[in-house]
Chain A
Amino acid sequence: MNRINKALAQHKKLISIYFTAGYPQLEDTSEVIKRLAEAGTDVIEIGLPYSDPLADGPVIQKSSEQALKNGMSTQKLFQQLKDIRKEVDIPLIVMGYFNAMLQFGVEDFCKECEAIGIDGIIMPDLPISIYERDYKALFETHGLKFVPLITPETSVERIQTIDALGDSFVYMVSSSSTTGGEKGFGEEAMSYFKRISDMQLTNKLMVGFGIKDAHSFEQASRFTSGCIIGSEFIRRLTNEGMHGIEPFIKSLK
């Protein structure tokens, strides 16, 4: 079974952490992964930095800019991850923007991911219609789970279409915003989490955007399988370095 689905089958709330590859230092990528795994993270999203990350707020924009300045590239990321499966067994998802994949060659990109032992891909700007038409078969051949996004504005009908596309989890964006929002979860957000949970989709649900501590983690995972934390983790990594990783993960539990 794919590592993502194995994790989702556990009866616990999953902690998924997003970080930008090649940040703060170019060669930090595998060290961050190892430390996250040791600290008890359940799923890791490895961000391939992009020059124009449309769905991201200021924190991830900055980390991406720095990573690119450090010399991060698609080729470099695959090199850095070459032996990662000798070190960790945690589910690994590559998250990036579609142009990077397109320029590398979608098939080559998938092959590299499979060779490394990547379990899934999140490409926020690869529309589901194009994924289904052009790339679904390819992803499946290479054992890669495609993780689609939904938002509070996504219609019921479209959620059902999206649900039919995959068989791992759907990335539920907590509110209509770019990453790193600080809105907190009020009644509206809670009822959205519950509403989608009540739809009993084939896919599990993971909530992302705007989660930053044990409280927001508890709220966002109450009706779902867990949460994805990005901006807040990067903020910690920036301020506290590698030593900040373990206490942060522990603080969420």
Chain B
Amino acid sequence: MSKYKVDEQGFYGDFGGAYIPELLYPNVEELRQNYKQIIHTEDFQKQFKSLLKDYVGRPTPLYLAENLSEKYKTKIYLKREDLCHTGAHKINNTVGQILLAKALGKHRIIAETGAGQHGVATATVCALMGLECIVYMGAKDIERQAPNVARMKMLGAKVVPATSGSKTLKDATNEAIRDWINHPKDTHYIIGSVVGPHPYPDMVTELQSVISKEVKAQMLEKEGRELPDYVIACVGGGSNAAGLFADFMDHEEVGIIGVEASGKGVETTESAATTILGREGIIHGSKTLLMQNTDGQITEPYSISAGLDYPGIGPLHAHLFKTGRGKFVSITDVEAMEAGLELSRMEGIIPAIETAHAFAIFKYLDFKEDDVLVFNCSGRGDKDLETYRKYFGY
């Protein structure tokens, strides 16, 4: 029995569950009762695998980054999720959930998005399947992520600005949940990370676990063993991390490292380092670690990368953190930008700024020369060029 899988009640140790208004109960319950069974049908698996292969472009390569390995005197592999269709791991989840929505007979799809990557990945699969798509996006993020807004519109999605609260990802998520309350019958909510009420964290982890499965096979081929010494990923809500960690969590000999964004530093008020600044509480229907004031009012996170700008982390990660199974490191804006530049210069890969955070850990952690590290290269930097350009003055 896995120590890190969700239990019957939807909890990972102390975290998870479904703290939702009764108004949402029928929607979430329908999903809870059906998701496992649907995902495990032969029909679903066949379609899912076929789309991942021919549409998304899987398996993504496991690339040995020799220049980086030489510099840091350890063996560094990159799992190239940045080469997925639409530019990030997010599409693994949306392909799976759109098939699930179809199996449930839903014809209206809603989603939240921060940087716009999940919004684009959702709009993409909706276009593919001919389903109506509504994406909630914070009014502030609509301004700072214009290219992704245009992509969603071009794909036929309706982008609705979330104007409540801080007008960013947390508020877009609130709006999507409210939409779902108002459309209990015909709508499926494609959540973009391993957050939200049970069964979402488990379901999204399962759909993203294709990353982990491929790494095992590729490790065997390249290293003659399935298990690396460390798996490393950035954590916003935690879906690319959960996807990479999934099949390694129960192998205690594999080190698990999650990388959070500390923005301008954990000592400032502008940060998103949830494991350091957060306490146990409830956000978006899940009991987890989140940034909040003493009264339980959720506080505003900050990171230069919109995809890590979330005040919570998925309950699985809260559990990995609390049990000590996972190590969490936090990286500032400045460190992430430098690491993004370094990966570009040394390997010819411009990463998403979210992804770049993971590559900045060498300042804080030492590895042995014969260690094998697998980094999740979760996304490419196209969407962030404007931010990079401004930052480096190109």
Q: Which residues of A contact B (CB under 8 A)?
A: 50-52, 54-55, 57-58, 61, 65, 68, 73-75, 97-104, 124-128, 130, 148-151, 153-155, 158, 173, 176-178, 181
Judged by a CB distance under 8 angstroms, whether B367 is at the interface is no
A126 touching B19 in the complex, CB below 8 Å, given contacts A55-B181, A65-B165, A178-B178: yes
A22, chain B: closest CB distance, angstroms: 12
Q: Are A103 and B18 in contact (CB under 8 A)?
A: no
Query: Top 7 nearest A-B pairs by Cβ distance?
Result: A103-B296, A149-B22, A124-B21, A51-B297, A99-B296, A153-B26, A55-B21
Contacts of B164 in A (CB 8 A): 58, 61, 65
A103 touching B174 in the complex, CB below 8 Å, given contacts A98-B282, A125-B285, A150-B22: no
Judged by a CB distance under 8 angstroms, whether B128 is at the interface is no
Indicate with 1 or 0, residue by residue over B261-288, a CB within 8 angstroms of chain A CB atoms. 0000000000000000001011111000
Q: Are B182 and A100 in contact (CB under 8 A)?
A: no
Contacts of B279 in A (CB 8 A): 103
Give the residue name and chain of the B residue nearest to A72 (CB).
B295
26 inter-chain pairs at a CB distance below 8 angstroms, sorted by A residue, are: A51-B297, A52-B165, A52-B171, A52-B298, A54-B21, A55-B181, A61-B164, A61-B165, A68-B297, A75-B295, A99-B283, A103-B294, A124-B21, A125-B21, A125-B285, A127-B17, A127-B22, A128-B22, A150-B22, A151-B22, A151-B184, A153-B185, A154-B22, A155-B26, A173-B22, A178-B181
Contacts of A126 in B (CB 8 A): 19
Within 8 A of A (CB), among B231-248: none
Judged by a CB distance under 8 angstroms, whether B39 is at the interface is no
Q: Are A176 and B296 in contact (CB under 8 A)?
A: no
Q: Are A148 and B22 in contact (CB under 8 A)?
A: yes
Contacts of B178 in A (CB 8 A): 54-55, 57, 178
Judged by a CB distance under 8 angstroms, whether B129 is at the interface is no
Q: Are A176 and B298 in contact (CB under 8 A)?
A: no
Q: Are B181 and A177 in contact (CB under 8 A)?
A: yes
Judged by a CB distance under 8 angstroms, whether B103 is at the interface is no
Interchain CA distance A50-B282 in the complex, whole Å: 12
Q: Are A127 and B181 in contact (CB under 8 A)?
A: no
Q: Are A102 and B281 in contact (CB under 8 A)?
A: yes
Q: Are B19 and A103 in contact (CB under 8 A)?
A: no
Q: Are A104 and B21 in contact (CB under 8 A)?
A: no
A100's partner among B20, B21, B174, B296 (CB-CB below 8 A) is: B296
Indicate with 1 or 0, residue by residue over B324-337, a CB within 8 angstroms of chain A CB atoms. 00000000000000
Interface size class of B (residues with CB under 8 A): 20 to 34
B20, B178, B182, B295, most chain A CB atoms within 10 A = B295
Interchain CA distance A97-B174 in the complex, whole Å: 14
B196, chain A: closest CB distance, angstroms: 11
A192, chain B: closest CB distance, angstroms: 13
B198, chain A: closest CB distance, angstroms: 10
Q: Are A125 and B184 in contact (CB under 8 A)?
A: no
Q: Are B282 and A54 in contact (CB under 8 A)?
A: no
Give the residue name and chain of the B residue nearest to A101 (CB).
B296
A124 touching B170 in the complex, CB below 8 Å, given contacts A65-B165, A68-B297, A177-B181: no
Indicate with 1 or 0, residue by residue over B2-25, a CB within 8 angstroms of chain A CB atoms. 000000000000000111111111
**A54-B181, A177-B182 are known contacts; what are 19 more A-B pairs with Cβ within 8 Å?**
A50-B296, A51-B165, A52-B283, A54-B20, A54-B285, A65-B164, A68-B297, A99-B283, A99-B298, A100-B296, A100-B297, A103-B295, A103-B296, A124-B22, A124-B23, A153-B26, A154-B22, A154-B25, A176-B23
Judged by a CB distance under 8 angstroms, whether B292 is at the interface is yes
Interchain CA distance A104-B284 in the complex, whole Å: 19
B310, chain A: closest CB distance, angstroms: 13
A100 touching B295 in the complex, CB below 8 Å, given contacts A55-B21, A125-B20: yes
Judged by a CB distance under 8 angstroms, whether B78 is at the interface is no
Give the residue name and chain of the B residue nearest to A96 (CB).
B296
Q: Are B281 and A103 in contact (CB under 8 A)?
A: yes
Contacts of B24 in A (CB 8 A): 54
B293, chain A: closest CB distance, angstroms: 8
Q: Are A130 and B19 in contact (CB under 8 A)?
A: yes
Interchain CA distance A104-B292 in the complex, whole Å: 12
Judged by a CB distance under 8 angstroms, whether B177 is at the interface is yes
Q: Are B295 and A149 in contact (CB under 8 A)?
A: no
Contacts of A58 in B (CB 8 A): 164
Contacts of A125 in B (CB 8 A): 19-21, 282, 285
Contacts of B284 in A (CB 8 A): 52, 54
Contacts of B25 in A (CB 8 A): 127, 153-154, 158
Give the residue name and chain of the B residue nearest to A155 (CB).
B26
Interchain CA distance A124-B285 in the complex, whole Å: 11
Interchain CA distance A64-B292 in the complex, whole Å: 16
B21's partner among A101, A130, A149 (CB-CB below 8 A) is: A149
Q: Are B295 and A74 in contact (CB under 8 A)?
A: yes
Interchain CA distance A199-B184 in the complex, whole Å: 23
Contacts of A103 in B (CB 8 A): 279, 281, 292, 294-296
Contacts of A178 in B (CB 8 A): 23, 178, 181-182
Contacts of B282 in A (CB 8 A): 97-99, 102, 125
Give the residue name and chain of the B residue nearest to A176 (CB).
B184
Interchain CA distance A42-B292 in the complex, whole Å: 35
Interchain CA distance A126-B197 in the complex, whole Å: 12
Contacts of A150 in B (CB 8 A): 22
